[in-house]
Amino acid sequence: MTPRDADRSTLTSAASMRVLAHPTRLKLLGLLRERGPQTAAQLGDIVDEAPGTISYHLGKLASIALIEPADAQSSDHRERWWKATTALTSWEPAELLDDPDKLAASAVLQKSIAQAYAARFTDYIDAAPALPREWVAAGASGDRSLRLTVDELAAMRGELEALVDRWLETSAAHDPADAAEPVVVVYQAYRRP
């Protein structure tokens, strides 16, 4: 088991995929992973939702073990703090091909994630004029169309995951006081229909 596998939640039921497919829940889980423990009120301020609504969504995420209560981060012990249980969530769509309910739930989740990626990239495009020039120059976006066998595609997937894992180690080594900033990496490799 790689370090990446040890810090991964694996979704195996259609119900868990449907829970995570909600756009607000995807956003909340991402925020807890990026920012660490938060309260419903703090998260509500970020996503512009009422704390009661946020609490409902947090309860749903907790029901599938993607988040859990966290130790209080302030002296106000009336606040309920939450944290992500793992850094990653995965499922294997190929394993769902024979189960129509799981396959449908996976498709809804994948589409919700794709919409979240598109919204985040749109936010970046809108913000780029205000970012330092060197950060804009260092960014990347592109696509290629390749002709590969299934084995070659699987090998490329492994290489992409290993590359990201290498940079995760670099990311973890940064001190909050240095010049590092949050960077989003999204990659996709699939057979064109």
Whole-model pTM: value is: 0.86
Q: What is the CATH number of domain 3-137?
A: 1.10.10.10
Tens of each residue's pLDDT in the chain, 193 residues: 444 566 899 999 999 999 999 999 999 999 999 999 999 999 999 999 999 999 999 999 999 999 999 998 887 777 899 999 999 999 999 999 999 999 999 999 999 999 999 999 999 999 999 999 999 999 999 999 999 999 999 999 999 999 999 999 899 999 988 999 999 999 999 999 8
- Tokens 């449908």, residue located: 104
Q: Domain map of the chain by residue range?
A: 3-137, 142-193
b/e per residue 110-133 (b: at least 16 CB within 10 A): eebbeeeeeeeeeeeeeeeeeeee
